Amino acid sequence: MAKENYSSEKMNRYFNDPLYRQSLLQQGRGFFKDRRNVVIILTVALAILGIAFTFHVVSGMPSLEKLENPQPELATKIIAEDGEILDQLFYKNRTRVSLNQLPRGLVEALIATEDKQYYNHWGIHLERVLKAAVKNILSFSLREGASTITQQLSRNLYLKPDRHVFDKITRKFRELLSSIQIERNFTKDEILELYLNVSYFGRQAYGIEAAAQTYFGKPASKLEPAEYTLLIGILKGPSYYDPLNHLDRAMNRRDIVIGQMVKDGLVTAESAELIRAEVPVIKEPEAEYRTGIAPHFVEMIRRELVRKQQQYGFDALRDGLRVYTTIDSRMQKHAIQAIEDHLNYFQTAFDSAWNWKRYPEILKDNIDKTIKESEQYKKLKTHESRDSLLQVMRADSALIDTVKQLAKTIEVGFVAINPHNGHVLAMVGGKNFRSFKYGLNHVTQIRRQPGSAFKPFVYTVALDNGYPACYELLNQPVTIPMPDGTRWTPSNYDLSIGGKYTLREALKKSINLVTVRAILEIAPAKQVAQYAKRMGIRSRIPAYESIALGSVEVSPLELTSSYCVFPNEGVHVEPISILRIEDKDGNVIEENRPEKREVLSKETAYLMTNLMEGAVNEGTGTAIRRYFYLPAAGKTGTTNDYGDAWFVGFTPQVVAGVWVGFDDGRIKFGTSDGQGGRAAAPIIGKFFQQTYENPDLDLPVEYFNRPDGIVQDTICVDTKKKAREWCPQKMTELFNAKYPIGLCDKHTSALWNEGRETPSKINW
């Protein structure tokens, strides 16, 4: 109460005492007088900053000529490691069209949806800006937009992304000024024409003409209301409203466009209902042909560049990038030649043996699939009409012949990698390796069972667990209960049983039963799965015993990459395909270096290499020795009924893997011709032959490097003959100390195999 009385007295005194009032005013003037210099400095500083910011905004504004005469897109060059240009990427889908060629309703739909006051503003709609600002403040978001058609057009002058908030603010001011400039320099119709010719409609379609061709296969002048309202709707978000991927979203957005036209009196409610009832037929995207010596590889690079666009702010198809890749064009040509030579003969042999009469269901399914993927089928709207078309086309002999030929075409996936730096040296992703439409890359986009090509992971674990290459296992049948309640009874491919095999002999001859016993007794399935993951397999690997025979599905790229660990002394290097990306001025945007990690000891890697040399020299992979005689190792793989054939082979400098099979997994070779040693290994042999004989490549003859920890001794001997064996030095020292050299053949072998002194119990 005292406080209120004190305030009241001061107010009364202020109004009734002139001297007191004058003293207070003098104090106020003193306050501002004392701080006058600060105020002046702040005012001048703000003025300078304002002038500098205005100069910065104005000086960075591009010329409006870019709207009328956009610079032609610069092609992105994909360059091989040896300098050859593999291909060029650029936009092909941009066509200009004049406003008077377009349906009137299309322009009306645009204005009704994007800018109702288009003819009443001068580039910026202030009332709309203020309303949007209020809505954004009240909703605590930035969802409400206020851009006019002119502002949206001006954005095409500013394609580079904003790096920080200041850039974003600057660009907004420039867009506003550019919008005013556009309105001063162009008529309203000219602005509409420019807008419709440069706007992005998704699927690489720039402009309304390209969009009409892309989505409906017709010129923009022929668009129907149900079609052009859909295209106008796409403008809000080309990816989000893509009618091929998100038809429901696109149709809902189209209904909003139609609703806006009804509100503005551009169409009647009755006409609007008729438009809404019509479902336009969306054209399937045309597959662009890629040509050259590495079309599948180039397509893989294109997809990778598209993924990087947002990260780096470039346009992969028009910014004139130079993409330096790991491919060696000479090796790529050798890969193509090796595949061509082998598959031409192999396809002829398969065609003569295959009989469609034995597989009517497979043929019927492939015919129906072809029909249902056709444009003719997709245009039909009722089940009855589609069923009628199916019946008619199923009897088309020309169609049937085409389907028969395509379905039984032998496909291939080939990749070669430098094991020391991970560079992908060659890649052939399919049979059509000189030109192809967007489709499967059989190196990166398929996953198939590798069969016996997975066995090296089992033997790697066995050796790493301390078992020597001479360790013997029974070649006897086993029955294993599976998690789903079934029983798995594996067998050898030739149904043979009996006797014992060392690990070396079992891998060399690809003995299934011995490998299964290995995963049961000395290399647990869980450990095998872990090793495979460490070595480069990215696909899911269930820890079942059946993985010993390759029941897991993998891609050719990851299987080949995992084998790189062996010649690279236990170090895995992630495969890379892009070395460097530069902009048109030579500035480096991205540079990649190999990612390395040690996953095996040098000793284990060498022992496995040594075992797989036996598979090439005397075992299932001897087919490559018909063409190539330098040091090499590898392993074949064959799946049930000869459906998939594999071979991964390597020298000290190159690892190459190949899969041979069919897109329809039900189609199989059916005979021993489909073995990995016959269907796949010769391709690797021919590739190595041509590669090492090429004087331009000048690859020196190298041998696999044997680490100091590996020695040759008689402790690991066959029970019937005194063959010397490579073993870890610590193992040989242990046994040499315990047994005289002359007594370590049969006696030592018995000790290993009877388990009285098993390796797992020895602390090295």
Do β-strands 571-573 and 596-598 pair in parallel, antiparallel, or remain unpaired? antiparallel
Is residue 113 assigned to a domain?
yes
Answer yes or no: do 31 and 162 share one domain: no
Which of 678, 442, 420, 679 is CA-nearest to residue 556?
A: 442
Q: Examine residue 299 and state whether it is found in any structural domain, yes or no.
A: no
**Number of domains composing the chain:** 3
pLDDT given at position 757: 41
Decide: helix, strand or coil at residue 248: helix
**247 domain residue, yes or no:** yes
Q: Is residue 228 part of a domain?
A: yes
- Higher-confidence residue of 727 and 10: namely 727
* Res 745: pLDDT: 38
Q: Which residues, listed in sequence order, are joined to residue 645 by a DSSP beta bridge?
A: 638, 660
Please check the confidence at residue 719 and state whether its pLDDT lies above 50: no
67, 157 Cβ separation under 8 angstroms: yes
pTM: 0.71
- Specify whether 268 is located in the same domain as 218: yes
pLDDT at 93: 61
**What is the model's pLDDT at position 376?**
79
pLDDT band at residue 689 using 50, 70 and 90 as cut-offs: very high
Which helix (H) or strand (E) is 634 found in, with range?
strand 633-638
Mean pLDDT over the full length of the chain: 83
Q: Is residue 177 part of a domain?
A: yes
Residue 753, pLDDT score? 45
Q: How far apart are CA 140 and CA 752, in angstroms?
A: 75
Residues 184 and 106 in one domain: yes
Place of tokens 């399935």: 525
Which three-class secondary structure string do you get for 658-716? EEEECCCCCCCCCCHHHCHHHHHHHHHHHHHHHHHHCCCCCCCCCCCCCCCCEEEECCC
Pick from 600, 605, 482, 487: nearest CA to 543? 482
CA atoms within 13 A on the CB side of 287: 11
190 and 49 inside one domain: no
Tokens of 390: 């199916």
As beta bridge partners, residue 323 has: 78, 581
Final residue in a domain of this structure, among 59, 76, 106? 59
Residue 200 domain-assigned (yes or no): yes
The percent of residues above 70 in pLDDT, for the chain, comes to 77
Handedness of CA 299, 411, 434, 405 (dihedral sign): negative
Q: Are 253 and 234 in contact (CB under 8 A)?
A: yes
Statement to judge: residues 39 and 102 lie in one domain: no
Residue 121 has pLDDT above 90, yes or no: no
What sign has the CA pseudo-torsion 729, 731, 737, 741? negative
Indicate the pLDDT class of residue 52, thresholds 50, 70 and 90. low
pLDDT at 748: 40
Q: How far apart are CA 459 and CA 608, in angstroms?
A: 8
CATH number at residue 197: 1.10.3810.10
DSSP state letters, 385-452: HHHHHHHHHTT-HHHHHHHHHHHTPPEEEEEEE-TTT-BEEEEE-SS--SEE-S---TTTS--B--GG
18 in the same domain as 160: no
What average pLDDT does range 647-665 have in this prediction? 96
Task: Print the domain residue range for 15.
Answer: 2-59
Q: 559 — phi, psi (to 5°)?
A: -65, -45
Q: In this structure, are 10 and 102 located in the same domain?
A: no
The pLDDT of residue 466 is above 90: no
Phi-psi region of 692 (alpha: psi -120 to 50; beta: other; left: phi over 0): alpha
Structure token digits, residue 416 = 């070669």
Question: Of the candidates 40, 59, 78, which is a domain's last residue?
Answer: 59
120 and 261 both lie in a single domain:
yes
Residue 220 to residue 227: CA distance in whole angstroms: 10
Residue 147 in contact with residue 171, Cβ under 8 Å? no
Helix or strand holding residue 750 (H, E): helix 746-754
**Rounded distance, CA 259 to CA 256, Å?**
5
Chain segment 288-345, per-residue pLDDT in tens: 566 789 999 999 999 999 889 888 888 888 788 999 999 999 999 999 999 999 998 8
Interatomic CA distance for residues 581 and 307, integer angstroms:
14
Cα–Cα nearest to 85, from 289, 290, 329, 417: 329
Query: What pLDDT sits at residue 587?
Result: 93
Structure tokens at 200: 């992005």
Q: Of 687, 659, 662, 685, whose CA–CA distance to 426 is shortest? A: 687
Q: How far apart are CA 329 and CA 86, in angstroms?
A: 8
Q: Is the pLDDT of residue 716 over 50?
A: no
For the segment 684-693, the average pLDDT, to the nearest whole number, is: 97
Are 55 and 98 in a shared domain?
A: no
Q: What is the DSSP letter of 187?
A: -
Residue 67 resides in a domain: no
CB atoms within 10 A of CB 262: 17
Percentage of the residues of the chain whose pLDDT score is greater than 90: 47
User: Do both 24 and 145 map to the same domain?
Assistant: no
Token pair recorded at residue 645: 């054939």
Q: At what angle do helices 104-114 and 247-263 cross, to 10 degrees?
A: 90
Residue type, 626: R
User: Which of 277, 307, 328 represents a domain boundary (last residue)?
Assistant: 277
Residues 258 and 124 in one domain: yes
DSSP-assigned letters across all residues of 569-615: TTEEE--B-EEEEE-TTS-EEEE----EEE-S-HHHHHHHHHHHHHH
Q: What share of the chain is helix, strand, coil (3-state, %, to 5)?
A: 50, 10, 35
Q: Is the pLDDT of residue 756 over 50?
A: no
Q: Which residue has the tokens 């041509």?
A: 690
Same domain for 112 and 30: no
Q: Which residue has the higher pLDDT, 34 or 351?
A: 351
What integer is the mean pLDDT of 49-65?
58
Structure token pair of residue 671: 């005979």
In this prediction, residues 388-406 reach a mean pLDDT of 88
| Strand partners of residue 88 | 77
| Residue 66 pLDDT class (50, 70, 90 cuts) | low
Half-sphere exposure of residue 412, counting CA atoms within 13 Å on the CB side? 30
pLDDT range class, residue 109, cuts 50, 70, 90: very high
Confidence band of 750 (pLDDT split at 50, 70, 90)? very low
Of 99-103, 256-260, 281-285, 411-415, which range is least confident?
281-285
